[in-house]
Structure 1
């Protein structure tokens, strides 16, 4: 993928960082946005460990080239600035909309408020998931789509989850993920004449920094490294039948099976279905 240019939003930590590192391992040039520029900005409890500078250091010996962008996607002007810089550099092949502040502030005054009914949810949670994350996905897609259309080639990926289809403990979360899926469905319809694909991609349980800090509470036997989904995105890009998948919500582990992609430890995650989540 040495000639491929990608953009991963929200890549200073977690799934986004893993996707960026995987695409860099594949040889791509990867632009990465994030709010946390340096490790000095990490909170005293380390609950936001991970930074753009840290990613830059980790990527130093990988085949691809990383370009970091300090960006808060709650500010549309910053989103537009990143896109303008990429446009000036020559264009973009892959956009991964991953920026997601929706998990912040899940505990308030010692109480885990995430599973409260919708009438007891704080409005800031809507602002984070819908006003920032969902809007950022739309705004960045809007900014970069013309680049892809002009080259008659491109892929837009929204990182989503089964909450789009099933109740997952928080109504706002479900609304945000359902909208992310609908977004790519409609994008795909409008982009199809231009040979540009748009998909939603569902990870499994990912061993992010936050998950590993609470590993005792999770069954990690079928979990995925943060890099796995990035290698799956690379597989999607190489798929000659990519346009047939455009507009759909896809499960990363299922694509991993189709493309014969193992995780970095050699494990091949078992794809989960809606029925699996319904049982839980």
Structure 2
């Protein structure tokens, strides 16, 4: 299977793994890929209780534990013998944003609780690295596949807190360097930036007026964009790049679940405190 040639002829049934698929963006990506014809495997600590259709293969996994991640790939090898798409979405950075009545998310780095480092760097960046290493062992022999790392504008300016910026900048650098090493095997690696996504947490915050949802994206929208990228016959030309999901959607004519075309945010549109 070659990643570039014949993409338009690839039938439905490509195997996708979405980490952090229990809720939020990860859940939406899993749903979007399922609707696009992928055989979807989803991981998460609470995946057994997630609101997902039975067609999605659930694999309970705490990606802080390497042995549990390894088991996920053992199942993939046993049941499929291949992996065509990995979406690294596992992330513990938004947990415990309020502690003891205090909103600690925007605190200066010297006042940040160290669990936030664990949630963003270990459960985020490190988990993506380990999952990508396992995926590469499946993708390089087949000379094809795609790895997508979900990232954000915090890689490029201060947003919220220092640890957040470190995590996203590390994700983008990881994407760039992995792309160099995987290029001879026709396996592209992409960093993908969502916009304001209507996750459970964002919808709850919007009720109090914290967010204007008029230009927001559904979680499934990101899955639709990833599917369009996967089927792009010229995707290798983008490997190592940072892409904005809504900009990719406009290029390929991808619409959101409500038929809308979300605007592609730029760095200037992003405000502090997110």
Q: Normalised by the size of structure 2, how large is the TM-score?
A: 0.92
1:25 and 2:16 matched: no
Give the CA deviation at 1:279: 8.6
The answer for the alignment partner of 1:43 in structure 2 is none
Q: Select 1:174's aligned residue among 165, 174, 180.
A: 165
Change in 2 beyond 3 A, CA 1:69/1:279: closer
1:127 and 2:130 matched: no
Aligned partners of 2:272, 2:95: CA distance in 1, in Å?
27
Q: Select 1:91's aligned residue among 67, 82, 85.
A: 82
The answer for the alignment partner of 1:48 in structure 2 is none
Q: Structure 2: give runs of 5+ residues left out of the alignment.
A: 1-10
The answer for the alignment partner of 1:217 in structure 2 is 210
The answer for the alignment partner of 2:252 in structure 1 is 259
Aligned partners of 1:278, 1:115: CA distance in 2, in Å?
13
After TM superposition, the structure 1 = structure 2 runs for residues 157-236 of structure 1, keeping only pairs within 5 Å, are 157-215=148-206, 216-236=209-229
1:153 and 2:144 matched: yes
The answer for the alignment partner of 1:76 in structure 2 is 66
* Alpha carbons 1:2, 1:28 under 8 Å: kept: yes
Q: Secondary structure at the match of 2:27?
A: helix
Q: Which runs of 4+ in 1 moved over 4 A?
A: none
Q: Select 2:235's aligned residue among 238, 242, 254.
A: 242
Aligned partners of 1:35, 1:183: CA distance in 2, in Å?
24
Give the CA deviation at 1:275: 2.0
* Alpha carbons 2:254, 2:261 under 8 Å: kept: yes
* Range moving further from structure 2, 248-257 or 141-150: 141-150
Q: Secondary structure at the match of 1:157?
A: strand
1:6 and 2:52 matched: no
* Alpha carbons 1:224, 1:263 under 8 Å: kept: yes
Aligned partners of 2:245, 2:95: CA distance in 1, in Å?
24
Aligned partners of 1:276, 1:265: CA distance in 2, in Å?
23
- TM-superposition CA deviations, 1:147-169 (whole Å, max 9, x none): 11111111000000000111102
Give the CA deviation at 1:146: 1.5
Aligned partners of 1:279, 1:123: CA distance in 2, in Å?
22
Give the CA deviation at 1:277: 2.0
Q: Structure 1: give runs of 5+ residues left out of the alignment.
A: 40-50
Aligned partners of 1:244, 1:38: CA distance in 2, in Å?
38
* Range moving further from structure 2, 127-136 or 241-250: 127-136
Change in 2 beyond 3 A, CA 1:37/1:233: closer
How many pairs align? Answer: 260
Give the CA deviation at 1:137: 0.2
Q: Normalised by the size of structure 1, how large is the TM-score?
A: 0.90
* Alpha carbons 1:118, 1:171 under 8 Å: kept: yes
* Range moving further from structure 2, 210-219 or 180-189: 210-219
C-alpha RMSD over aligned residues: 1.3
Q: Select 2:263's aligned residue among 261, 267, 270.
A: 270
Aligned partners of 1:276, 1:220: CA distance in 2, in Å?
14
* Alpha carbons 1:153, 1:196 under 8 Å: kept: yes
